[in-house]
Structure 1
């Protein structure tokens, strides 16, 4: 337990990671501010000192994970010309699935105050699916310029299909069944990137 009055480095991330562990281990119903702070080994009131309440905390967790996902998608730019286009995209899609825990996404969408806070954050420009789609499109266009994707391929539509699939998988996946996401992503990429 951190001593009272002592600054905790990376407190937001520590609380977010603790919340993900609580949800993964005990389910979404077990997520309380007390469960989060106990898991993070912080004082009981720390969460409420930094967030207006559990709903704001859940929304901020989701927005943070979307931003992390967008950064992972933007990192595709460094992979242009490496491995295969399908392998690069598959790697990022699966990393995004890990970055956005389905139970947290579900909580943020089913708790009205959390959903409202999330929508406000997205309207204010917080990166989410649109930033991920833009990163996929930019990557695919770069691979097209390099000759690794056919000139006639519709990069924007391929990116949209990938983002739509990620959204679908996030909303429907069963925790602990990562093979479903991997298999679905593989089938989609085989259709979108023939040859």
Structure 2
């Protein structure tokens, strides 16, 4: 337990990671300021020293994870011509699905103040689904120019399908629902096949 007055490096990330563990282990009903700080091993007042309250904390957690995924998507151009198109798309889609996970994203939507803060931040340009979609479109355009994607493929529509489906799965994830990761893998395989892109299985057989 960190004593009062002692600075802790990366305290926001420490609290975010603690919240994710509480959610994974005990579910949304157990997520309280006390539970988060206890899991993080810090003083009870630390969360409120960095956030106005639990709603702000939840919204900022989702925004932080979205930003991390957006950075991963921005790195897609560096993978042009490497691996398979399907594999590269799948990696980004799964990263987006894990950007806070269905439980965290769903929690934000059930807390009106957190949801409003999240929406306003995204409208103001915070990295989110739109920026990931743009990165995927740009990546697919580059792969198309290299001939690894069929000429005439509507790359913007493929990117929208990937991001839109992942968004849907994030917002509707609940206990007992089908595994969202398997659904994402199936979607990517379908889109890659329709776009004439090599699949991982095909590449493995080359």
Q: TM range, normalised to the smaller chain?
A: over 0.9
| Structure 1 residue 65, shift from structure 2 partner | 0.8
Which residue is 1:84 aligned to? 84
Greater than 3 Å deviation, 4+ residue runs: 174-177
> When the two structures are superposed, what TM-score results if normalisation uses the length of structure 2?
0.89
- Distance apart, 1:175 and its partner CA: 5.5
Q: Is the 8 A contact 1:69 1:100 kept in 2?
A: no
**What is the CA–CA distance in structure 1 between the aligned matches of 2:50 and 2:164, rounded to whole Å?**
33
**Partners of 2:150 and 2:10 in 1: CA distance:** 44
Q: Which runs of 5+ in 1 are unaligned?
A: none
TM-score by length of 1: 0.94
Shift of 1:176: 8.8
Shift of 1:104: 0.9
With 180-189 and 152-161 compared, the bigger mean Cα shift is at 180-189
* Secondary structure in 2 matching 1:99: coil
User: How far does the alpha carbon of each residue in 1:48-81 deviate from its partner, in whole angstroms, 9 at most, with x for none?
Assistant: 0110000000000011111111111112111110
Please name the residue that 1:23 is paired with: 23
1:101-144 alpha-carbon deviations (Å, 9 max, x no partner):
11110111110111111112112211110011001101101101
Q: Residue 14 of structure 2 contacts residue 40 of structure 2 at CA under 8 Å; is this kept in 1?
A: yes
In structure 1, how many angstroms separate the alpha carbons of the residues matched to 2:95 and 2:45?
32
Where do 5+ consecutive residues of structure 2 fail to align?
A: 197-206
Q: What is the number of equivalent residue pairs in this alignment?
A: 194
- 2:200 alignment partner in structure 1: none
For 2:66, the equivalent position in structure 1 comes to 66
